[in-house]
Amino acid sequence: MIAQDRDIRFIEAITDADGAHKARELFSRTFGYEPSGVWAAPGRVNLIGEHTDYNAGLCLPIALPHRTFIALAPRRDTRVRTVSAVRQDSVAEAELEGLNAGGVAGWAAYPAGVAWAMREHGMAVRGFDAAFVSCVPLGSGLSSSAAMTCSTALALDDVYGLGFGSTDEGRVTLISMAVASENDMAGASTGGLDQNASMRCRAGKALLLDCRPGLSALENVSQQDFDLAAYGLELLVVDTCAPHQLNDGQYAARRKTCEEAAAELGVRNLRQAADQIADASRGDADRKREGLDRVLAALSDPTEIKRVRHVITEIWRVEDFAEAFGSGDIRTAGSLFNASHDSLRYDYEVTAPELDTAVEVARSNGAYGARMTGGGFGGSIIALVDKGQSRQLAEKIAEAFSAKGFRQPQALTSVASRAAERVA
Ligand code: GLA
C-alpha cells in the first residue's frame, strides 16, 4: 500500500524521430494521404517572472524537451481538418472563409485560429489538414496550448512559403499570430511568455524576455546560460494534476487590476513603476524597499496593493535570479524561487492547495528552492535539486498528495531545450 502511494509517473520526452513517425502515421491513417512534413514545438517552464509579461515586465522561461508534433499538408480550399492522438477517431473541422473571432469551438480553435489570424494579417494562407501528437501534459501549466499554436504557425509559414520562421525577427511575427489565436479564437488570455519560449528558446539557455512594448526582436531577449549539469543540479517539474483553467476569469481579473493600478499611479504599466523605483534607489536595497512602500501607499485598495507588490518585486526577482544563477550562487537562486512562490501565494493569490503542498514538501526535503510555474490556479511546480534527487522528491510529493486526498501527480525532469523547428 505504502509503496503504491509513493508511485509517481515520470513523463519521458518523445524523440523527434518517434514524434515525427507517430504524427505522420496518424495523419495518413486519418486523411488517406501523406503530409508535407512534420514540425515540433516545445512546452515551457518559466523559471521565474510570473504574471509579469502583461505588465511589460521580465520573465525567464526555458523550453522543455517535451514537444508537440504536427504533421500537416496545405489544402487548395479554405477548410481546416485536425485530429489529435488524444482522440484519434474524431476529426474537428472548421472553415476559414467568413470565420470570425470566437467562431471555432473546442480544441480545434487553437490551430484553426492561427490560420485565421495569419489571414487577418494579410498572409497568403489557405486551409490545411493536420495531425497532432504530443507529450506535453495538457492543462498542466506547461504551455501545451502554445506548443500547439506555435507548431501550427511554423508549419503554415513553411508550407505556404512565407519565410517568417527562419529568422528570430520573423518568429516574433508568428508569435503574435499564435497569441491572437489563443486570445481571440480560443478565448484564453495569454500574455506572450509561452509563445516566445516555444519559438525562441535555445538548448542550454534560459530566455530572459523583456516584455516592454515597442522593443525590437534584438532588444527584447537575451540568452542566459542555464546549464544545470555544470552545477550538479536537476530541475524537477511536478504536474499537480489539479484542475487548471486560465479562461475562467481569474487571469483576466488579475490583468484588469494591474492596469487599473498603473492608471492610478500615473504610469504606463507596472514595469515603469518598478524601473522608476529601482533607478531612484541606485542599488541601495533599503531605499528600494522604501520606494516600493511609497508607491504602495499611493494606492487605496488593499487588493491592488497586494497585486502591485507582487508584480514589482517579481520583476526585480527575475534580474536577481539571472545574476545569482549566472554566478553560481545556487542558494540565492533557490531562495528567489521560494520568495516568488510566496508572493504568488499571498499577494497574487493564484496558487492552489496542491501547489502549496508540493512546494512545501520540496522545501523541507532538500530542494534549493521551489515554486509554482505558469499561470497558477492548478498546474505545475518546479524545484531546483541536487542531481539524482528528483525521483525521491517526486515520490515524497506523491505521498503527501495521497495523504491529503489530492489526485496523483505526475512528474518530469527538464533541461533547457530547443525552440520550435521542422523535424521531418
Ligand atoms: C500563463 C499565460 C502567460 C503568463 C503566465 C503567468 O501561462 O499564458 O502569458 O501570463 O500565465 O506568468
Domains in the chain: boundaries: 9-226+417-423, 228-266+314-414
pLDDT tens digits for 63-110?
999 999 999 999 999 999 999 999 999 999 999 999 999 999 999 999
Fold of 9-226+417-423: Ribosomal Protein S5; domain 2 (3.30.230)
Distance between Cα 162 and ligand 1 center (Å): 28
Fold of 228-266+314-414: Alpha-Beta Plaits (3.30.70)
pLDDT score at 257: 98
pLDDT score at 4: 52
Mean pLDDT of 233-252: 85
pLDDT score at 189: 87
Which residues are catalytic, by number? 194
Domains 9-226+417-423 and 228-266+314-414 share a fold: no
Residue 302 CB coordination number (10 Å) = 8
**pLDDT above 90 (res 235):** yes
Return the beta strands (E) in 121-173 as ranges.
Answer: 128-134
**pLDDT above 90 (res 340):** yes
pLDDT tens digits for 101-144?
999 999 999 999 999 999 999 999 999 999 999 999 998 999 99
Give the residue, by CA position, lying nearest to ligand 1 atom 11: 375
Mean pLDDT of 47-63: 98
**pLDDT above 80 (res 275):** yes
Model confidence band, residue 17 (pLDDT cutoffs 50, 70, 90): very high
Distance between Cα 332 and ligand 1 center (Å): 24
pLDDT score at 7: 83
List Cβ neighbours of 208 (8 Å cut-off, separation of 6 or more): 58, 60, 221, 222, 223, 224, 318, 322
Q: Return the best residue to mutate from 44, 53, 209, 372 for the ligand 1 pocket (most ligand atoms within 8 A of CB).
A: 53
List Cβ neighbours of 360 (8 Å cut-off, separation of 6 or more): none
On whether the CB atoms of residues 319 and 271 are closer than 8 A, the answer is no
pLDDT score at 3: 42
Displacement of CA 281 from its chain's centroid (Å): 32
pLDDT score at 5: 60
Closest CA to 274 of 308, 317, 312, 306: 312
C-alpha cell read off for 138: 495538457
Q: How many CA atoms lie within 13 A of 356 on its CB side?
A: 12
Distance between Cα 49 and ligand 1 center (Å): 10
Strand order in the sheet with 369-373: 9-10, 410-414, 233-239, 380-386, 369-373
Q: Return the best residue to mutate from 194, 239, 250 for the ligand 1 pocket (most ligand atoms within 8 A of CB).
A: 194
Identity of the amino acid at 207? L
Model confidence band, residue 6 (pLDDT cutoffs 50, 70, 90): confident
Run of H or E residues at 411: strand 410-414
**pLDDT above 70 (res 2):** no
**pLDDT above 50 (res 1):** no
Mean pLDDT of 9-25: 98
Mean pLDDT of 179-193: 95
